[in-house]
Amino acid sequence: MKKIKLIVLLVFFGLFTIIRAQCRLSEIKAFYYTPINGLDSINHGKVKISIFNAGDMSDWDGEIEYGIKGFTPNTNSGTTDSIHFNEENTSEDIFISNLEHDAIYDLYICNEYIGEFQDARELLKIQMDFEFKNNKLYYIPMYGNTFSDSVYGKNIINAGTLITENDESFLSENHIGAFTIHDLTVLREEIPFRISFDRRRFGTSVYLTIICQTDGTIWPLIPFYYNSVTVPASSNQWMNYEFNEPVDNYQINSNNSNYDLTEMGRFLFRFIPTISGGWGNSYLDNIIIEPDGLNEEICAGEGAWIYGNLETEEGIYLDTIFNSMGVLDSVVVTTLEFHPPLYVEEVSPDVFMATGNWDNYSWRSCVNDSIVELGSNFSPSEDGYYYVIASDNNCADTTECFTYGNPDIGIDENESFVIKIYPNPVNDIVNIDLGDVSATQIVLSDIQGKRLKTIQIEAGKSLYMLNVDKFRVGLYFVEIFFHGERIKTERLIIK
C-alpha cells in the first residue's frame, strides 16, 4: 500500500512539475522601459523589461533569450534569463545594463519571438494607442511623475491605469494625474510639432498643461516651453484634441541656472480640474506627438532620397524654401524611420490586418506558398494556415504562420523540429544545421519565390555552408524539402 501511495505521489509531483514548467506565452503581456534621460551616456545600454502574468495560471516558469537583431535562439549566441510567477496578475522585471548602444535586439520568450527593443535614445515621435496584444513587446515612452529614485521613473502601465472596456484599452488619468514623455528631438531642435489625443471625461472641464523640463528633475518644474489650454467636459464621450505648435511658440527660459541643452526635450502632461474636487472620471487614448510634416519608412540598411540627398539613418530632415525675392518662405520637414516589426493582428473573427506602412502585402498559404490575397487586410475564404510578406522596394519582412478556423490539413511537420541557421543576419557564409531532420534538399529563394540556390542533401551529413556574398541585401527564405515536399521554411537576412 505504501508503494502505491509513493507511486501516486511521484506521478502527482511529476504532473505538477510539468504543469508548472509550461510556458504560457499566450497569457502574457510584455513592455520595456528605458532610463529617464536618454541623452546622458550613463544611461546607455540599460533597459527594463516587464512581463505581466495576464492569464489564470498562478504558478509557472518561463525562459527568456535576447540577442542582436537576427540572432538564432538556442545556438548559444544570445543571453538567457528566466521568469517565475506564483500569483495571477503580477509582473516580473528584468533589468539589463550591458546592451550595445543604439543596437536593436530581438526578444524570445519560451522560444517564440515577441518583439525587438533597444536602449535609451532620443525619440523622433510618440504614438500610443494602449491596445496591447498578447505575445508582443511594447515600448512605453513615458513614465509617471514620482519622487522615486528609480532611473526608470514610475511605470504608468499597471492594473490601475490600464482600463479595458468592450475590447478597447485606454489610460486612466485618475491613477496618474501627470506623466512625462521621454526625450524628443522636436523639442531640443525646436522643430514644429503637433500633439493629438483622444479624451473621455465625465465631470468638469480641465486645463491641459504641457511643460517641457530642462533640468532632468521631476520637481520643481522649470519649463522652456509652456502651454495650457482648456479641455471641456465631454459628457463621457470620446473627443479628439489636436494642437499644432510652430517654432515661434517655443519660449526659452535663459534665466534658468539649471538650463542644459543635453537634457532638454521632455514633455510633462498635467490635467488640472477647473474647480476643486472636479476630477470626475477621465481617460486618454491615441496620444500622438510628432513633427509637423511628412513621414517615410524604409528597411534598415536601405536608403531614401530626401530633399536631394540619399539618407540611410532614422531622423528628422528639414529643407528651407525661399520665395522669388530670396527670403525664407517656409521650412518643410520629413521624418524617416525604419519599418517596425511586422505582425498580424486580428481585427475581427474573420478579418486580419498586417501592421506597418509597407508598399505591398502578399498573404500566402503556409501549406503550398500560394498567394491567397493582396493588401494590408486579409479575409480568409477557408480554414487554413497563413502568413504575410510585406515588401517595400527591395526589402521585405514576413510573419510566422497563424491558424484560421479548424483546417483539416496539418503542418505539424513545421513545428516538430528546429533547424539552426547562423549567423543571421549574414554577409558571406551562412551555416545551416539540419540536426536529425530527414531532408533531401535545401533551397534558397527570394521574396518572389524564385529559387536562387539548391543544395542536395548527402547521407550522414547535417551541417551545410552556403555562400551568399553575391546576393543583394534583403530578406530571403531557406526552405527544407523531403522528396519534393517542403517541410520547413526559415527567414534569412543578408546584410
For the chain, 495 residues long, the average pLDDT of each consecutive 10-residue run is 42 42 68 87 92 76 88 86 82 92 91 90 90 88 69 80 81 74 80 82 56 45 48 65 68 48 59 50 84 87 87 91 74 90 85 88 83 92 89 76 76 58 85 86 83 88 89 83 79 81
Please enumerate in sequence order all residues whose Cβ is within 8 A of that of 356, keeping only pairs 6 or more positions apart, or say none.
297, 339, 340, 342, 390, 397
Cell triple for 440: 533531401
Decide: 185 and 123 in contact? Cβ < 8 Å.
Answer: yes
Cell triple for 212: 517641457
Could you tell me the domains of the chain?
22-121 (2.60.40), 164-291 (2.60.120), 294-338 (no CATH), 342-416 (2.60.40), 417-495 (2.60.40.1930)
pLDDT at 224: 43
